[in-house]
Amino acid sequence: MTDQDKNFNYAALINREMEILDYKSMMKQKFKEGFEIGLKEAREEWREEGREEGREEEKIRILRNMIANGYKTDEALRIMGIPEAQWEALKVKLQFHELLKSVEYCLN
């Protein structure tokens, strides 16, 4: 093998290593960009879920107050304008809140 062949092989090896490093750098950058985009989308989704949970908790709080003031559960749901399709789910959550309340009372 001549010196010229050795230099050519060495240059080809260096070029290959540089291409691999460029590829890895590009992949790392794309991963970082994708991660940031995904994180932003997830935060927006979590924020919306939090708002929905907050609205539902507020409904339950109002229902508990209405029931405590003498309204029947169905009557309170009707007055609040909640669709009948949601009644059962809210009743279950309302019962769960009452259960939690009694457990907290027992623990204190």
> Both tokens of residue 49?
């879920």
Query: pTM surpassing 0.75?
Result: no
Q: What is the pLDDT of residue 59?
A: 82
How many DSSP H helices and E strands does the chain contain?
3, 0
Q: What is the pLDDT of residue 22?
A: 92
* pLDDT tens, residue by residue, 64-89: 888 889 988 888 888 888 887 887 88
Q: What is the pLDDT of residue 105?
A: 67
Average pLDDT, the chain: 82
Say how many CA atoms lie within 13 Å of 28 toward its Cβ: 6
Q: What is the pLDDT of residue 3?
A: 63
Does residue 103 have a pLDDT over 80?
A: no
